Amino acid sequence: MTPQDTIDRLLEQRPIPVCSVVTELTRASRDAVPADFDVVLGIARLNDVFDERLAYPAMALMPAWGVGGIDALCALAAEGPHESVAFSILSTISLGRVPSSADVPFLGSDWDSSAAYVLAPNFGAGDRSARQSSDSGPPG
């Protein structure tokens, strides 16, 4: 079963098992398979009441897909929804850190210990070459 299938099944449940959806998103980010990015981006774009509990963690996971994920996060920062959260995440990764629950609201109590992904050691504000020399298209 793909992450998309699992997440679609979870989203059909009422109430939506938010922790389970975030766990599946986190699993997908560990492998960062390009085909799984669409489900993460779709959830990051959710903009209804209480959707921030799903959208914010999805946005925080987008950098796991590299330049394409960061570019999509930049587009969310420019177009929305959740522009301020997108900027917070971009600011955090520019410092070479994975976003934590101190950086972004609604990430959940176990977020900081989940080790969703790791940024490359040379990634951060001082290393612009990673972004400039890479393909800037979407993942996939």
Q: pLDDT of 44-95, one tens digit each?
A: 999 998 899 999 999 999 999 999 999 999 999 999 899 999 999 999 999 9
Give the distance, in angstroms, between the CA of residue 106 and the centroid of all CA atoms in the same chain. 13
Comparing 120 with 21, which gets the higher pLDDT? Answer: 21
CB-count exposure of residue 138 (10 Å: 0-12, 13-18, 19+): middle
Of 52, 45, 53, nearest to 19 (Cα)? 53
Instruction: Return the residue matching tokens 């509990």.
Output: 53
Q: pLDDT of 85-113, one tens digit each?
A: 999 999 999 998 899 999 898 887 788 88
CA–CA dist 120, 116 (Å, integer): 13
CA–CA dist 4, 82 (Å, integer): 22
